[in-house]
Amino acid sequence: MVIMTTTSSPTFLPVLERIAEELERTPGRGRAADYIPALAACDPRTFGMAVAELDGTVYGVGEWRQPFSAQSITKVFTLALDLAREGDELWEHVGREPSGNPFNSLVQLEYENGIPRNPFINAGALVVTDRLQTRTGDAAGELLDFLRAESGNLALDFDQEVAASETAHGDRNAALAHFMASYGNIDNEVPALLDQYFRQCSIAASCADLALATGFLARHGIRADGSRLLSRSQAKQVNAVMLTCGTYDAAGDFAYRVGLPGKSGVGGGIIAVVPGRCTLCVWSPGLDERGNSVAGVAALDRFTTLTGLSVF
């Protein structure tokens, strides 16, 4: 089923339909994340993909209207919300280099004095959420309001079951946060920060919602209502960090295959940006060994190959 929300034509719909058909014939789809029990029940073969044009026209194929766990995709939005508030001072507390390590790794933090490599590994995202929490008093609530406004979907919400599941299995994130706190790089009490972070990750949203919410990065910092969230330069910076760090320790392979800024989450979603043109979100819960959606990366690879769109 295809539903249009605004008026411009669904330019890429035939491409999306072709990709969905091709993937239907592809056997391997990876495995759903099982370290968060609430995610383990997802069918790895589920597939949805949406494109949002700059004017808010959105269309898609498969399960593109079905909410799924946004997980680390939310790290892009908290980064943008904090950067908009504090500007470059943020970069004194988190780096912007690829880590080459898994998303939940602790190993670099001690060598690098509690400053995480980038905002998209868990350690870096915890720093960003901590700083947003200090500035707003409710980082997860700020994020939810932003996602609702950009997607136009006021029903978006936290998934209490996923948040509780993460809290119950959150020892590694707690270790990361306490370790960084020992270097003075966390302002808030660790349990309060973890509560914000787990609620942030638990937000359930569809491909349509997330493609629309990413639109400001294709519009060089301009939100859906025409107001500016980020300067043009900051939007470039966020896109650059997505390209180099957005898919964990597979960011090089993602850039090679897809050639777009992208951010994945262990719920099986991936957002991607074609600056000045459109945004995409693809969802398929089967993950590869680095935590990226197998069909999601394949679909974005096919999209840029078939359309010739990429940042290169």
**Binding site residues, as ranges?**
72, 122, 166, 173, 197, 248, 266
Nearer to ligand DON, 265 or 285 (CB): 265
**CA separation for the pair 14, 5 (Å, rounded):** 18
72 part of the active site: yes
Among 12, 47, 68, 103, binds ligand DON (CB under 6 A): 103
Binding of ligand DON at residue 142 (CB under 6 A)? Answer: no
Binding of ligand DON at residue 53 (CB under 6 A)? Answer: no
* Burial degree of 276 (CB within 10 A; 0-12, 13-18, 19+): exposed
Name the catalytic one among 266, 273, 282, 297: 266
Binding of ligand DON at residue 74 (CB under 6 A)? Answer: no
Q: How far is CA 133 from CA 64, 119, 129, 138, 192, in A?
A: 31, 15, 6, 5, 9
Six token digits for residue 139 = 């980082």
SS3 55: coil
- Which residue sits closest to ligand DON, CB atoms considered? 72
- Cα 79 from chain centre: 10
Sign of the alpha-carbon torsion through 39, 40, 43, 46: positive
Binding of ligand DON at residue 166 (CB under 6 A)? Answer: yes
Binding of ligand DON at residue 68 (CB under 6 A)? Answer: no
Six token digits for residue 291 = 């935590």
Least distance (Å) from ligand DON to the CB of residue 76? 11
**CA separation for the pair 123, 94 (Å, rounded):** 9
**CA separation for the pair 283, 294 (Å, rounded):** 10
236 part of the active site: no
Name the catalytic one among 72, 165, 284, 293: 72
Q: Which amino acid is at 6?
A: T
Binding of ligand DON at residue 78 (CB under 6 A)? Answer: no
248 part of the active site: yes
Binding of ligand DON at residue 279 (CB under 6 A)? Answer: no
Binding of ligand DON at residue 196 (CB under 6 A)? Answer: no
35 part of the active site: no
Strand locations in the chain (E):
48-53, 58-62, 68-69, 204-205, 262-264, 269-274, 278-283
Binding-site positions for substrate read: 72, 122, 166, 173, 197, 248, 266
Cβ atoms 238, 50 nearer than 8 A: no
Nearer to ligand DON, 185 or 196 (CB): 196
Least distance (Å) from ligand DON to the CB of residue 34? 12
Binding of ligand DON at residue 122 (CB under 6 A)? Answer: yes
* Burial degree of 212 (CB within 10 A; 0-12, 13-18, 19+): buried
Least distance (Å) from ligand DON to the CB of residue 264? 7
Nearer to ligand DON, 199 or 302 (CB): 199
Site for ligand DON, rule CB under 6 A:
71-72, 103-104, 122, 166, 173, 201, 248, 265-266, 291
Active-site amino acid positions: 72, 75, 197, 248, 266
